[in-house]
Homo-oligomer: A and B are copies of this chain.
């Protein structure tokens, strides 16, 4: 296999996206979800890139999820009109939400408490803004949300609609599914997530609220749910590139991972069997998400520049701008001369992407170089 020359000349370390794999991963989830009668609301937080979002959102009104208002503002500026800000709303952020709505963006906010609902109603009434709200429903005790059977759920729905806000939907996130160890466990988690949101939806609608959207999602459950009946949309983020954590959970194979960091060998410690590279935690991130999984990949799986994994080799140690690969018995220092290049697959794509301002993209012809830029900040 040959690689285009620019892979060897672009300054290292850099983040590389394999566009063929990226597109294939998107097709896989979209096809699956649509066959089950639902729709993907992709989470744009992994790459936070307008160029990357283009392949996820063919139409400007397609639904999307964001993790920061910086993303919401950047995607709204590009004309995307259906954005869910999926972090519990802080009252001081409401003016930015209102400003986006006034420019014509349907931005939806998330909450799970009386205090938030009061702030939303109060700001909305003072400024004549009808906020579009999702209530978070807890399906697995992972983070926030109100239980589907709770009085709090109905109370929040009533407070919002009585106060002039719009209850657009209910949202569940099966965050515990990242810790599943078998396909069957993920299937159970997906079922529980869907069941929780269906029960919650039934109760809310029985009270006379329209609440049109039922939203579930986490990358594992999105790939294992078999029954999306009644589920309007499925959220997932890391599925576009996948990573070693997802490989360990069993959602993808190593060869599906569309993201890597390209690094240059800068030295050796022959006594210790160490190879030094110019990618430390600044390029790879400090994420050690595989540390307690079935296979611990250190700070990332080492591949050759063509992208073939080198069995058993990982980045074992990182400093800010140094990485250290500890050679196993199968490899010698001469396999990695100073100046040669390797690729490193990430533990956690969201965390690794966050360390970069732009991504080098190997086009779907396997040759052309594209550059995708990252939206930064909050």
Please tell me the number of chain A residues within 8 Å of chain B, measured between CB atoms. 57
Select A87's contact among B322, B324, B357, beta carbons within 8 Å. Answer: B322
A267 close to B113 (CB less than 8 A):
yes
Distance to closest chain B CB from A91 (angstroms): 5
Distance to closest chain B CB from A322 (angstroms): 6
B319 close to A113 (CB less than 8 A):
no
* A148 lies within 8 A of chain B by Cβ: no
Residues facing B in A109-160 (CB within 8 A) are 111-113, 115-116, 119, 141, 143-144
Identify the stretch in A183-191, A207-215, A247-255, A274-282 within 8 Å (CB) of chain B at 4 or more residues.
A274-282
Distance to closest chain B CB from A343 (angstroms): 16
* A48 to B141 alpha-carbon distance, docked (Å): 40
A350 close to B264 (CB less than 8 A):
no
* A12 lies within 8 A of chain B by Cβ: yes
Chain A 333-353 interface 0/1 with B at a Cβ cutoff of 8 Å (1 = within)? 000011100000000001100
Chain B residue nearest to A278 in the complex (CB): B90
Select A88's contact among B141, B276, B377, beta carbons within 8 Å. Answer: B276
Chain A 264-289 interface 0/1 with B at a Cβ cutoff of 8 Å (1 = within)? 11111100100010100111011110
Cβ–Cβ < 8 Å partners of A175 in chain B:
319
Select A90's contact among B143, B266, B355, beta carbons within 8 Å. Answer: B266
B276 close to A144 (CB less than 8 A):
yes
User: Which A positions have Cβ atoms within 8 angstroms of B?
Assistant: 9, 11-14, 45, 67-68, 87-93, 111-113, 115-116, 119, 141, 143-144, 175, 264-269, 272, 276, 278, 281-283, 285-288, 319-322, 324, 337-339, 350-351, 354-355, 357, 376-378
Q: Enumerate 21 A-B pairs (CB-CB under 8 Å) in ascending A order.
A: A9-B92, A12-B378, A88-B267, A88-B276, A88-B322, A89-B266, A90-B264, A90-B278, A92-B264, A92-B339, A113-B267, A113-B268, A115-B338, A119-B338, A143-B319, A143-B324, A144-B322, A281-B351, A282-B354, A285-B286, A354-B355
